[in-house]
Amino acid sequence: MSGLEIERKFLVTNDSYKRSAYDSSRIRQGYICSSGGRTVRVRTRGTRAYLTIKGPSDAAGMSRYEFEKEITPEEAEQLFKLCEPGIIDKTRWLVRSGSHVFEVDEFYGDNAPLVMAEVELANEDEPFDKPDFIGREVTGDRRFYNSHLRQYPFCIWGATIER
């Protein structure tokens, strides 16, 4: 997959997403490079693996270029050795809401108890139905980018946010 990624991020207020989910998988990801708003990420998701390159976000933090290529799990394990310190560990739950799918990430380790939901859109003004577990929008707040959470985990600053 390659092209423009348009997404909005939200904090999650309760665990009803677990009952509504049609799928879930464990994700482990590391960053080979994360500077200047650009990232090169390696990820395992269940039994599959991916190499992803993302460009800097627009001013609103909603859109950015993304290139993703599936790689073998063995290649991913080798690439993890090149990653900057700090691995993101989370479970991703997939929840349908209207014509969209919300990806709800439940973080572990130093990023627990953070739970965020993302919805990908075809354009920035596209309407969507918010499930009942959706809370405050954090689109564009760089503290909630996975590349930031790797360096500055939620346990350090999470108590300061309004939910």
Measure CA 80 to chain center. 18
Would you state the structure tokens that stand for residue 20, as one six-digit string? 């509504």
Would you state the structure tokens that stand for residue 30, as one six-digit string? 């590391």
Q: Is 145 a catalytic residue?
A: no
Q: Which of 31, 108, 145, 152 is catalytic?
A: 31
Sign, CA dihedral 46-51-102-2, equals: negative
**155 sits in which H/E element:** helix 154-157
Q: How many helices (H) and strands (E) does the chain have?
A: 4, 9
Cβ count within 10 A of residue 145: 19
Alpha-helical (H) ranges within 95-153 are 146-151
Angle (nearest 5°) at CA 14 between 7 and 148: 45
Report the catalytic residues. Answer: 31
